Structure 1
Amino acid sequence: MTADQLVAKYSAQTETQSSSKLAILGSHVEGQEKILNSGALALLETLCEQFAAEVPQLLEKRCHKQQRIDAGELPDYLPETRAIRDGNWSIRGIPADLQDRRVEITGPVDRKMIINALNANVKVFMADFEDSLAPSWEKVVQGQINLHDAVNGDIEFTAPNTGKHYSLNPDPAVLIARVRGLHLKEKHIEFEGEAIPGGLADFALYFYHNYRQLLAKNSGPYFYIPKLESHHEARWWAKVFAFVEERFCLQPGTIKCTCLIETLPAVFEMDEILYELRSNIVALNCGRWDYIFSYIKTLKNHPDRVLPDRQAVTMDKPFLSAYSRLLIKTCHKRGALAMGGMAAFIPAKDEATNQQVLQKVRGDKELEARNGHDGTWVAHPGLADTAMGIFNDYIGGDNTNQLHITRDVDAPIPAAELLEPCDGERTETGMRLNIRIAVQYIEAWIQGNGCVPIYGLMEDAATAEISRTSIWQWIQHEKSLSNGKLVTKDLFRQMLAEELKNVEQELGTERYQAGKFTQAAQLFEQITTSDELVDFLTLPGYELLTA
């Protein structure tokens, strides 16, 4: 079907903009004209023409690797890239405003969140089009509008209920945009009749509208790249960056990125990922929650690698400690920063409970700082002071990071250490908690909210993925709970029905009936009892997401 035919097909129900090969199929969003203008669409079309066709090939390579692991092979370092790991090279360099990243806050691209995050006691705000955003067309477009206003410094928001007014402080945090992973499409934009890669849309629109103003402010177009599984995928992004820099007559390396190491395959290719992106990359990040999810997903056919309760899988476990230490050693050897993981806790209103929360955060952040991380993540401004205090103590006032901690005296970390099974119980309490968390998160997600406070934690797609894949793994490998109950599909269905009633009691009948909990439970049951593990809950969820 041609672009003209697509326009004709959708014009009756949506306001559609198109170029020769690009078609915008989403309904009109107020203010979209300044984001979906001719210049931005021309860049996006060119990027799709140059790079979109390679994405399915990269995803197919993921499948082939996974098939080998499913058949019994274990992930390992690549023999064919040993020369890169052993070589003496470093990244191009780190801009001045990215050298101190001791605390970063993350969150979705809604207007109030952006203002509060940029005003928080942090060095960086990661504005998220990925795990904490349910990418309805309205939220994607409005998110780009919000970030454009934030870069211009004139973003404001007045709460409709309270009338409280929000605006930027004089010295806001540095802004980094996280684009969607390669597996996610943007169905509201088609190139030659095919939905385009969501990350390409996020990148092109943010870059085009903001790079001049960012550079004028002595900052730059900075990005977080999620869900990489190989250096081949890093090479794809490097080609995108180089193409755009040349097109806009920018110095090579103007675009800067931080890559999340949040998949098990990627941890064995960190040197290679840094090497492929050496002109643009400044850091790697321990995306711990997605990493735990990826450990389950990658080793799903290996019965000796089944994880215990989610709450028992902490960063002091051997396989996660090895992951953190290896990332620091690899990054610092190449002159890149090594970012720590997320503190997903939310401050509690009760003072005694809040002190317990802060104590857990302190322990987690002290471990990261002591290991040599250059910074860390928080999900709530109320945790920023605690995290900042800890990293101030370790980094000090005269330094901006911990690049001097090389970990050269560490013994090499073999594959076996990164794959070491994790001890811990599988409890009925843990399983029921997983069910309540997952069903509430999925219900929020399909209604357009990708970042949800549940039971004192800020849940996003990554934490919900752990909840549902843990149960899937226990079912597939016929594991028993600590009380002796065998985890089966029938036991899961029974618990799901019981926990739905508990969720209704917790939230109230009015809220429950006004929501989409039945729809969420159906999707949750479908993906948890499937004989084949669904790669990402957001893929079937995207089909249910309100347009």
Structure 2
Amino acid sequence: MAQVPGVKVHAKVQGAQAEILSEPALKFLAALHRTFDSTRQNLLTARHATQRRLDAGEQLDFPAETAHIRADPSWTCAPPAPGLEDRRVEITGPTDRKMVINALNSGAKTFMADFEDSNAPTFQNMVNGQVNLRDAVRRQVDFEQGGKQYKLSEKPATLIVRPRGWHLDEPRMTVDNRPISGSIFDFGLFFFHNAAYQLAHGSGPYFYLPKIEHYLEARLWSDIFYFSQSALGIPTGSIRATVLIETLPAAFHMEEILYELRQHSSGLNCGRWDYIFSFIKKRRADRGAVMPDRKDVTMEVGFMDAYVRLLIQTCHKRKVAAMGGMSAQIPIKNDPAANEAAMAKVRADKLREVKAGHDGTWIAHPLICKIAMDIFNEHMHGPNQYHVRREDVKVTAADLLNTNVQGKITEEGVKSNVSAALSYCAAWVSGNGCIPIANLMEDAATAEIARVQLWQWAAHGAILDSGMMVTAAYVDKLIKETAPTVSVAGVTEAHVRIASEYLSAQVKSKEASDFLTSDLMPYLDGAVGAQGQSKF
């Protein structure tokens, strides 16, 4: 194991992992940490201050200090980099070796390799994922399993990497006795090992940036990009980054986020599930923001439609991609009628996106690729729709905050949220961040909606369509009843116990916590003991 002054890796490093955590790579990570972590910490503190103001009744609005940026028509972002000219279908998923090969071979234009919401960040997952991506970049990722050969095609999808959000630490690596940022760890290792090789072979280092809440958080990424390119002798402007607009505050900062990253920007993405989660969480003190059943909070409701229209208009004004969101449906085996109904939902979703002006969309399963591709091929004849300017769109702050959502809160909706949150949290603690639940591919984002809705309904005493009030005691009873029925591959009784105690504590809490991934991080990497004891 490499030795670097001030740097410690608090986990076992074996095999090819040592090549990833080499001395030069660790020195690069340490330099990033020492230069930028204090800014990250200040920005996280600012998030909490914003939440306190929102809890006190302040309303979000477009920032007055940057009105000149929004009003200036002269600036645009960087042109599309090689491999990002046409992004009509993007597939996403975690970074295990088989997934990487299958996604790159799926027929999608790009593959977002995910170190974030579809990945439980065990140390093995994070570092082995870096090994897999390094090997994929060099076309050395082929392997055999169970007599089946997994081999990259001649023309694989363009690779885009999503590091963790600013809020997550990487506790298995410390610099000067402080944990390094998960964002810096994921970005820095991939960039260090692959940027030069990618550029020499006609591609480049491309990233998706999650969970941003303020344009100053985008500025931090921009500063890191400039520093990293300079430090490693990579030409300035080689990086491209697409920002997921998946927090409510970020919806008010779209143009500023593009402006901060303009030399490295490749657009914005409608991170729809996390956006719903953030909408509820940020307005947790607002009784008027109580949402109906999760299934009723669709892309057609007022605040979601406004956010989509504004994102497309903003991106095309600045000549970058406006990416659509994820369809969580997956193929349903042995039930043709149910499968056709699920695929019809995918078709309708993708048709809505392409007609709205999106330049591409997300899928979670290779067998969905043809459906999405056919719809975009039929309705988007060029590589993008930048010419669809949507100058008719006039979105106000009130539109983005519109809570007029039709629907009911039902007992079935409560039970569905309990089941989804329990199953996902147990799977996440077991090391699996992406699981099928009720024929949907679920990651942390949908589990977060389920968790925060349960809290919201109990905290505000929401009334079911039956007339019964939702209370913490009622939800807690459902948790206890549901826990024995959780059945997910690799999940043990201890994992379910941790998930149950966590969800029960969340529902009873005075305030909804920020992220389940932060809350459950101490239980990864075998930290769940034989007795499954928790602190909740």
| TMscore range, shorter length | over 0.9
Larger displacement relative to structure 2 (16-25 or 430-439): 16-25
Amino acid at match of 2:183: G
Is residue 540 from structure 1 mapped to residue 519 from structure 2 by the alignment? Answer: yes
* Shift of residue 528, structure 1, vs aligned partner: 2.3
Is residue 431 from structure 1 mapped to residue 405 from structure 2 by the alignment? Answer: no
- Which of 186, 195, 200 aligns to 2:184? It is 200
- Provide the residue aligned with 1:5 in structure 2: none
- Which of 215, 224, 247 aligns to 1:240? It is 224
* Distance in 2 separating the partners of 1:237 and 1:512: 36
- Provide the residue aligned with 1:86 in structure 2: 71
SS at match of 2:244: strand
* Shift of residue 321, structure 1, vs aligned partner: 0.7
* Distance in 1 separating the partners of 2:505 and 2:94: 27
* Distance in 2 separating the partners of 1:382 and 1:527: 36
| Residues 17, 25 of structure 1: 8 Å contact kept | no
Matches within 5 A, 1:453-532: 453-503=436-486, 516-532=495-511
* Distance in 1 separating the partners of 2:207 and 2:485: 41
- Which of 270, 273, 283 aligns to 1:286? It is 270
| Residues 212, 245 of structure 2: 8 Å contact kept | yes
* Distance in 2 separating the partners of 1:107 and 1:529: 33
- Provide the residue aligned with 1:386 in structure 2: 371
* Distance in 1 separating the partners of 2:201 and 2:120: 31
SS at match of 2:486: helix
SS at match of 1:294: helix
- Provide the residue aligned with 2:139 in structure 1: 153
Q: Which runs of 5+ in 2 are unaligned?
A: 527-536
- Which of 82, 85, 110 aligns to 1:99? It is 85
* Cα offsets for 1:250-298 (capped at 9, x unmatched): 3321111110000000000000000000110111000000000000000
* TM-score, scaled to structure 1: 0.94
* Cα offsets for 1:414-437 (capped at 9, x unmatched): 011111112211010011011111
- Provide the residue aligned with 1:418 in structure 2: 400
Q: CA RMSD in A?
A: 1.3
* Shift of residue 30, structure 1, vs aligned partner: 2.8
Matches within 5 A, 1:194-343: 194-343=178-327
- Which of 128, 149, 166 aligns to 1:182? It is 166
SS at match of 2:83: helix
SS at match of 2:389: coil
* Shift of residue 511, structure 1, vs aligned partner: 7.7
Per the alignment, do residues 170 and 66 of structure 1 end up closer, same or farther by CA in structure 2, a change over 3 Å counting?
same
* TM-score, scaled to structure 2: 0.96
- Which of 66, 77, 93 aligns to 2:51? It is 66
* Shift of residue 318, structure 1, vs aligned partner: 1.2
* Distance in 2 separating the partners of 1:240 and 1:454: 37
Amino acid at match of 2:443: D
* Shift of residue 409, structure 1, vs aligned partner: 2.2
* Distance in 1 separating the partners of 2:232 and 2:189: 14
* Distance in 1 separating the partners of 2:70 and 2:247: 19
Is residue 409 from structure 1 mapped to residue 396 from structure 2 by the alignment? Answer: no
Number of equivalenced pairs: 523
- Provide the residue aligned with 2:332 in structure 1: 348
Percent identity over the alignment is: 45
| Residues 476, 507 of structure 2: 8 Å contact kept | no
* Distance in 2 separating the partners of 1:379 and 1:18: 39
SS at match of 2:190: helix
Amino acid at match of 1:344: A
* Distance in 1 separating the partners of 2:490 and 2:193: 39
* Shift of residue 531, structure 1, vs aligned partner: 1.1
SS at match of 1:97: coil
Q: Which runs of 5+ in 1 are unaligned?
A: 1-15
* Cα offsets for 1:60-119 (capped at 9, x unmatched): 111111111110011111111100000121112211310100000000000000000000
SS at match of 2:370: helix
* Distance in 2 separating the partners of 1:135 and 1:29: 17
| Residues 306, 400 of structure 2: 8 Å contact kept | yes
* Distance in 2 separating the partners of 1:400 and 1:92: 16
- Provide the residue aligned with 1:10 in structure 2: none
* Shift of residue 29, structure 1, vs aligned partner: 3.1
- Provide the residue aligned with 1:138 in structure 2: 124
SS at match of 1:204: helix
Amino acid at match of 1:542: M
* Distance in 2 separating the partners of 1:268 and 1:378: 26
* Distance in 1 separating the partners of 2:234 and 2:473: 59
* Distance in 2 separating the partners of 1:163 and 1:544: 35
Is residue 35 from structure 1 mapped to residue 20 from structure 2 by the alignment? Answer: yes
* Shift of residue 513, structure 1, vs aligned partner: 5.5
Is residue 112 from structure 1 mapped to residue 91 from structure 2 by the alignment? Answer: no
Larger displacement relative to structure 2 (492-501 or 272-281): 492-501
* Shift of residue 514, structure 1, vs aligned partner: 5.3
- Provide the residue aligned with 1:13 in structure 2: none
* Distance in 2 separating the partners of 1:381 and 1:211: 27
